[in-house]
Amino acid sequence: MNSNKTSGQKLLGFLAANSVPIMFILIIALCIPVVGFSPTFLLNEIVTRLSRNAFLILSLLIPIMAGMGLNFGMTLGAMAAEIALIFTSDWQIWGIPGIVLAMILSIPISAALGVLCGRILNAARGREMITSYIISFFMNGVYQLVVLYMMGSIIPIIHNNIKLPRGYGVRSSVDLTRIRKCLDNLVAVNIAGVRIPVLTILIIVAMCLVIVWFRRTKLGQDMRAVGQDMEVARAAGIDVERTRLISIVISTVLAGIGMVIYLQNMGDMATYSSHSQIGMFCIAALLVGGASVDKASIGNVFLGVILFHTMFILAPSAGAKITGNEVIGEYFRVFVSYGVITVALIMYETKKRREKAGIGQQLAAAQKEEGK
Amino acid sequence: MKNKRRLLFRALTVCILVAVAAVMMVIGRGHTIYFDNKTATVDGQEYKAFQRVEVFVGEERVARLAKRERGMASCVGQRFSFTMDVTENKGDEPKHYEYTVSVPYGMDGMVVSVPALLAGLPEEAWRSEFVPQVVQEEEEEEVVTDEFDMDGSEF
Domains within chain A, CATH numbers bracketed: 42-365 (1.10.3470)
Q: In 3D, which of A293, A294, A241 has the Cα closest to residue A115? A: A241
- Band of the pLDDT at B135, cuts 50, 70, 90? low
Query: What pLDDT, on the 0 to 100 scale, is given for residue B155?
Result: 54
Query: What pLDDT, on the 0 to 100 scale, is given for residue A23?
Result: 83
Residue environment code for A16-30, b if the CB has 16+ CB neighbours within 10 A, otherwise e: eeeebbeebeebbee
Taking a C-beta distance cutoff of 8 angstroms, is the pair A148, A141 a contact? no
A53-57, A146-150, A206-210, A350-354: which has the minimum mean pLDDT? A350-354
Mean pLDDT of chain B: 89
* Average pLDDT of the residues in A284-311: 91
Q: Examine residue B55 and state whether it is found in any structural domain, yes or no.
A: yes
Consecutive H or E run containing A166: none
Q: How many CB pairs under 8 A join A and B?
A: 97
Instruction: Provide, as residue numbers in chain B, all residues whose Cβ is less than 8 Å from the Cβ of A266.
Output: 154
Q: Examine residue B13 and state whether it is found in any structural domain, yes or no.
A: no
* Average pLDDT of the residues in A20-35: 87
Q: Do B151 and A91 touch (CB under 8 A)?
A: no
Return the percentage of chain A with pLDDT > 70, whole number. 98
Nearest CA in chain A to B132: A160
Residue A40 makes CB contacts below 8 A (sequence gap 6+) with A192, A193, A194
Q: Do A148 and B145 touch (CB under 8 A)?
A: yes
Q: Examine residue B22 and state whether it is found in any structural domain, yes or no.
A: no
- Band of the pLDDT at A133, cuts 50, 70, 90? very high
Q: In whole angstroms, give the CA distance from residue A61 to residue A287.
A: 11
Instruction: Provide, as residue numbers in chain A, all residues whose Cβ is less than 8 Å from the Cβ of B142.
Output: 172
- Band of the pLDDT at A355, cuts 50, 70, 90? confident
Tell whether B147 lies on the interface with A, counting CB pairs under 8 A.
yes
Which of A101, A270, A312 is closest, CB to CB, to B28?
A101
Q: Examine residue B98 and state whether it is found in any structural domain, yes or no.
A: yes
Q: In 3D, which of A195, A190, A152, A188 has the Cα closest to residue A170? A: A152
Task: State ipTM.
Answer: 0.86
Nearest CA in chain B to A52: B155
Q: Do B153 and A330 touch (CB under 8 A)?
A: yes
Q: What is the extent of the structural domain holding B47?
A: 30-129
Tell whether B93 lies on the interface with A, counting CB pairs under 8 A.
no
Choose the mutation target among B24, B107, B133, B146 for the interface with A, i.e. most A CBs under 10 Å: B24
A149 compared with A321, residue with greater pLDDT:
A149
Segment 34-73 of chain B within 8 Å of chain A by CB: none
Query: What pLDDT, on the 0 to 100 scale, is given for residue A4?
Result: 58
Residue type, B5: R
Q: Do B76 and A281 touch (CB under 8 A)?
A: no
Which of A101, A104, A166 is closest, CB to CB, to B140?
A166
Q: Examine residue B16 and state whether it is found in any structural domain, yes or no.
A: no
Q: Examine residue B21 and state whether it is found in any structural domain, yes or no.
A: no
Taking a C-beta distance cutoff of 8 angstroms, is the pair A263, A274 a contact? yes
Query: What pLDDT, on the 0 to 100 scale, is given for residue A216?
Result: 95
Mean pLDDT of chain A: 91
Q: Looking at the predicted structure, is the pLDDT value of residue B128 above 50?
A: yes
Query: What pLDDT, on the 0 to 100 scale, is given for residue A1?
Result: 45
Q: Do B141 and A266 touch (CB under 8 A)?
A: no
* Average pLDDT of the residues in A233-252: 96
Q: In whole angstroms, give the CA distance from residue A128 to residue A227.
A: 13
Instruction: Provide, as residue numbers in chain B, all residues whose Cβ is less than 8 Å from the Cβ of A159.
Output: 108
Query: What pLDDT, on the 0 to 100 scale, is given for residue A14?
Result: 84
Query: What pLDDT, on the 0 to 100 scale, is given for residue A348?
Result: 73
Q: Examine residue B8 and state whether it is found in any structural domain, yes or no.
A: no
Q: Looking at the predicted structure, is the pLDDT value of residue A20 above 90?
A: no
CATH code of the domain covering residue B92: 2.60.40
- Per-residue pLDDT of A52-90, as tens digits, reads 999 999 999 999 999 999 999 999 999 999 999 999 999
Query: What pLDDT, on the 0 to 100 scale, is given for residue B138?
Result: 63
- Per-residue pLDDT of A303-351, as tens digits, reads 999 998 998 888 888 888 888 777 777 777 777 777 777 877 787 778 7
Which of A100, A165, A273 is closest, CB to CB, to B137?
A165
Q: Examine residue B71 and state whether it is found in any structural domain, yes or no.
A: yes
What's the structural domain count of chain B? 1
How far away is chain B from the Cα of A145, in angstroms, using its nearest Cα?
11
